[in-house]
Amino acid sequence: NDKQMKAVQLKSFGIDQLMVEEREIPALQANEVLVNIKAVSLNYLDLIMVNGSFNKNVAFPYTPASDGAGVVTAVGAGVTRWKPGDRVVIQYVQNWTKGRIDAESNAVRVGWQIPGVMAEFVSIPEHGLVKAPENLSFEETATLPIAALTAWYALIEQAGLRLGQTVLTQGTGGVSLFALQIAKAAGARVIATTSSDEKAARLKALGADAVINYRQYPEWHQQVKALTGGEGVDITLDVAGEQTIGQSLLSVKEHGYVGTAGFISGTALPLDIMQHQINMNFIRIQGLAVGSAESFNAMNRAITINNIHPVIDKIYPLSQVQDAYRRLESGQHIGKVVISLA
Name the site residues for its own copies (rule: CB under 8 A).
Answer: 97-103, 106, 156, 160-165, 182, 185-189, 209, 230-231, 241, 253-255, 260-261, 263, 267-275, 277-289, 294, 298-299, 301-303, 305-306
Nearest to 295 by CA among 193, 186, 185, 145: 145
The nearer residue to its own copies, 263 or 316, going by C-beta atoms, is: 263
The nearer residue to its own copies, 21 or 209, going by C-beta atoms, is: 209
What's the 3-state SS for 46-97? Answer: HHHHHCCCCCCCCCCCECCCCEEEEEEEEECCCCCCCCCCCEEEECCECCCC
8 A C-beta contact, residue 270 and residue 246? yes
- Give the nearest distance from C-beta 325 to its own copies in angstroms: 22
The nearer residue to its own copies, 3 or 98, going by C-beta atoms, is: 98
- Give the nearest distance from C-beta 287 to its own copies in angstroms: 4
Residue 160: helix, strand or coil by DSSP?
coil
The nearer residue to its own copies, 11 or 301, going by C-beta atoms, is: 301
Beta strands in 87-182 (DSSP E): 87-90, 121-125, 129-131, 166-170
* ∠ Cα 299 301 307 (to 5°): 100
The nearer residue to its own copies, 122 or 261, going by C-beta atoms, is: 261
What does the alpha-carbon distance between residue 172 and residue 205 come to, in Å, rounded to a whole number?
12
- Give the nearest distance from C-beta 34 to its own copies in angstroms: 20
8 A C-beta contact, residue 40 and residue 119? no
8 A C-beta contact, residue 155 and residue 217? no
- Give the nearest distance from C-beta 180 to its own copies in angstroms: 13
- Give the nearest distance from C-beta 284 to its own copies in angstroms: 5
The nearer residue to its own copies, 247 or 340, going by C-beta atoms, is: 247
Which DSSP state fits 18? E
- Give the nearest distance from C-beta 232 to its own copies in angstroms: 9
- Give the nearest distance from C-beta 290 to its own copies in angstroms: 10
Taken in order 25, 26, 27, 32, the sign of the CA dihedral is negative
The nearer residue to its own copies, 120 or 126, going by C-beta atoms, is: 126
8 A C-beta contact, residue 121 and residue 88? no
8 A C-beta contact, residue 275 and residue 283? no
